[in-house]
Amino acid sequence: MSTPKNPASELRALADLINGAVAQIEAACSSRSQTFPPADEQFTLESEAARMSPDILMQSNVIVAASQQLISAVRLPALTLMITALTPYITACLRLSISLHVPEILREAGPQGLHVRDIAAKTNVDPAKLARVLRLLATSHIFREVTPDTFANNRVSSLIDTYKPVSTILEHPEDKFDSTSGIAAILEHVTDEGSKSAAWLTETVTDKKIGFSQEPNETAFNKAFGTQLAMFPWLELPENILRLKRFALGMKGTQSMAPPSNILQGFDWKDLPKGSVVVDVGAGSGHHSLVLAKTHQHLEFVIQDRDAVIPDAVKHWGTELPEAIKVGRVKFQGNSASRENLVIAHGNRPAHDFFTPQPVKEPAVFLLRMVLHDWSDKYATMILKQLRAAASPHTQLLVIDFTMQYACEDTTSARQIPGAVLPLPPAPLLANKGTGDVLPYCADLNIMALCNGEERTLSHFQKLFEGAGWKLSRVNYTPGVELENTKIFAVPIMPATSQ
């Protein structure tokens, strides 16, 4: 990747990238008789059809990356620094708008919008303060100000809408996120626990006692909330029941950000022998395994997660694929040895904590979707070693996680792994597309602040696997998918690493 020799040529190169990408999007939409969704329209799956096409999504990413890099190039550095420093206030305003049910209030008001005094009256807050909050969000292209002090939803803010009547939410606020996409739930979690923890990042990293810690209960989260518990046990305290519910529903929201069929790509599931067992480790509701079970009826599944999560998984499968439970194609394992706390369906399997020996021996596949990133290397290695000890020579490990790209060209040995090399974006964009693909880097710091977890580069994964008895064998990238776009495969190193 070459870099223009002078600032003027860099500006022109970035502008040309933007113009070229716009032209390609227009041509693609025209060829399909589609319309690219205007910013002021409400979000619908139908309106997003054009944007979600892989070729259009690729050009959209170029536009975002080039635009942000162009802004950085032309804006005064002092302004860039000050605006970056003040960005947490946008986060705070987003959380407040969700907590005050502003998207739902504005949906009921209609496209003409609603004056801020009427918005504020619904939730008994100061309209003058709320106007300032909504104006910052509208300035950031979340909501729109249609006339002075009158606000309406736009495409971005409508995505936060739970589509429930405001009266119902006010009467039962604890059920606000039930039966929704989960997007609003995950955003409120990130802007609550995540944002508060982020504020303590400096104090944590520079702390002489815990600055180098890999423990899940020695984090910025612990300082922010004054607890010695790691985040997941803390969420399960009785006083945090609504936060736990919000988090669980939010995790479903992250699943909806990737096409359900994504799990079917990049692996020849159909080639596994009949009766092959897929162990979904840290599965949540087992969303991905459910998609596999519906498509590949010759496979069997074990869903493993915390006791607090397993009842929801059983309920989800009971609704979506009850026959699988009935015939024993799917089994559920919690992490408690207590019979009254362990939910098991069709099969007397032992309880399981993934830091202890894996009870399912020699399955075809161990699947870990967005699991390893919750843990530091110390604990991720423990998890992987337990899986390796239970693996057969033919067991495959499939990890679905964000994969971090370097901001410069990758020169590590991981480049030799089949499928690892992605084409570089056009110059003068950064090798990782800069803010055109910034989500993994934000998620990395969020998970570090919350539980000392981390997103990893392929080179990092390679070393992590090797230390636990696995060999990174290949990588599959799904073009056009923003989340869960990387599947990392590993096979056992022979012999197994000792425990």
The residues assigned a catalytic role are: 373
Dist. CA 451–CA 448, nearest whole Å:
6
Peptide bond connecting 495 to the previous residue in cis, omega within 30 degrees of 0:
yes
CB 234: neighbour CB atoms within 10 A?
A: 20
* Residues in the chain, overall count: 499
Q: Which two tokens stand for residue 84?
A: 């970056």
Residue 452: closest CA among 375, 386, 379, 372:
375
Amino acid of residue 450: L
Residue 428: closest CA among 17, 75, 57:
17
